[in-house]
Amino acid sequence: MYYTGLYCSACGEPHDHQVPQNICVKCGKPLFARYDLEAAGRTLTPESLRTRGKSLWRYREVLPVRDEADIVTFGEGWTPLLPVPRLGSRLGVERLLIKDESQNPTQSFKARGMAAAVSMAKQFGLQKLAVPSAGNAAGALAAYAARAGIEAHIFMPADTPRANIIECRESGANVTLINGLITDCGAEVARRKAEEGWFDVSTLKEPYRVEGKKTLGYELAEQLGWKLPDAVLYPTGGGTGLIGMWKAFDEMEKLGWIDSRRPRLYTVQAAGCAPIVRAFKEGKRFADEFLNAATRASGLRVPKAIGDFLMIDALKASRGGVVAVTDTEMFVAIRELGAAEGIFAAPEGAACVAGLKTLLAQGWIQPDEQVVLFNTGAGVKYLECFED
C-alpha cells in the first residue's frame, strides 16, 4: 500500500488518512492524498501498464484504496482519446482530439470520482453518503452506492435534467429536489448531515473524488505516448477534473514518466455562471460567488467552488487561461460536433468547442498545436434542453 497520508492543499496541515476526513480542520480547504511514489514506481511503470486492465484501476498504486475487496467498480476509466479531423478542419486546428468521458459508466466523468470515493467509504465502513449535485455526480453516486450496498442521499436543483433525477431514483437513492442552485443543495446537506448520520461526498469536500478524477491526466499522458499536448480545454464547474489532472502531472513527473513541460490549461465556463473566469481576469486567487447564476449546462452552474484557488493556480502555472461562452454558442457547438464527428456531447463538453473558437480567434491557441478538448458527459441526458 503506497498511500501514506493526507495534507491540506492550502496550508499543508497533515490529517489522519486512516479515518474518514472531509476538509482541513485548520483552514477549511480541500485535502489531498500523498503517496510513496518511489516505492510505487517499482511496480507501476509504463511497461507494466501494457498488460493491465483497461480501467482507471490500472493505476492502482497511486489510488488510495487499501484492499482490493473494497474496490467498487463498473469498469470506469480508459475512455477513448478520439482524433476529430473533420471538426478540426472546420475550426482550423490541425491536431485536435476529444477525450470522450461520456463513454464512462453513468455516462459522465463523474464515475471516476465516485468510484474512488465510494470505494473508500466502503473501506471505512460508512453506511450513508450524501451529495449536492447538478446531475451527473448524483447519478454516479446513486449507482456506485447501490453497488456497494450503501445508502445514497442526493440533493439536486428542481430543474436538474430529468434523466439525472430518474437515474438516481431508479438506482435506489433518496432524492430531494431543492428550489435553488447547487450551493443551496450543499447548504441543506451541511445543515442535516450530522443529525442524519450522512458522510458528505461533495466536490472537494472529501479527499478521494479528486483521486479518481486525476486518472484523466494519467490516461491522457499514456494515450499520447507520455508526451502531453500543447493545450487542454476543460469545462469547469467545481473543477475537480482540472485540479486532478494537474496533480497527476506532478505525480507522473516524480515517477519519471514525463518531464516538467505542461499543457496550457484553459477553463471553459458558461457566460451565465463564470466565477473562475471573472476571478482570473481580475487577478484574484479566490473567486467571489457568481450571483444569479443561470445556464442550461447544469454542470457549469456552480456559483462558488471550494477549489477555486487550486484551479486558478493551475491555470497560471500552466500559462493557460479562461474563456466564457454563451448557452447559444454551446448548443450550436453540440450540433457542429455531432454532425462532424458523431459525438453527441453534453452542453459542458460542447462548451469546449465553442471556447476553442474564441481562443483561436484571440490567438491564444495556434492552428498547428495539439489540442485536447474534454467532453465530460453524454448529450442524451439533456434531452429537454433541445425541445425548443
Q: Computed from CA positions of residues 119, 121, 122, 128, in that sequence, does the dihedral angle turn out positive or negative?
A: negative
388 pLDDT higher than 90: no
Angle among Cα 322, 324, 329 to the nearest 5 degrees reads 140
Can you give the pLDDT at residue 384? 86
CA 127 to CA 125: how far, in whole Å? 6
At 71 the three-state DSSP class reads coil
Question: Where are any strands of DSSP class E within the chain?
Answer: 3-8, 14-15, 31-35, 81-83, 95-100, 128-132, 151-157, 174-178, 199-200, 231-235, 264-270, 321-325, 370-375
pLDDT of residue 1: 78
**256: pLDDT strictly greater than 90:** yes
pLDDT, mean over the chain:
97
The pLDDT score that the predictor gives to residue 213 is 98
**pLDDT tens for each residue of 25-52:** 999 999 999 999 999 999 999 999 999 9
Q: 127 pLDDT exceeds 90?
A: yes
Closest to 277 (Cα-Cα) out of 218, 233, 217: 233
C-alpha cell at 259: 518531464
Residue appearing with cell numbers 491555470: 315
pLDDT in tens, 63-106: 999 999 999 999 999 999 999 999 999 999 999 999 999 999 99
HSE (side-chain half, CA atoms, 13 Å) at 348? 33
- DSSP-based three-state secondary structure for 174: strand
pLDDT digits (tens, 9 = 90+) for 269-324: 999 999 999 999 999 999 999 999 999 999 999 999 999 999 999 999 999 999 99
Which pLDDT band, with edges at 50, 70 and 90, does 386 fall under? confident
User: What confidence category does residue 340 fall into, taking pLDDT thresholds of 50, 70 and 90?
Assistant: very high
Question: Phi-psi category of 264—alpha, beta or left, where left has phi over 0 and alpha has psi -120 to 50?
Answer: beta
Neighbouring C-beta atoms of residue 274, cutoff 10 Å: 25
User: Rounded CA gap, 386 and 379, in Å?
Assistant: 10
pLDDT for 385 equals 84
Angle ∠(80,106,35) on CA atoms, nearest 5: 70
CATH code of the region 81-108+212-386: 3.40.50.1100
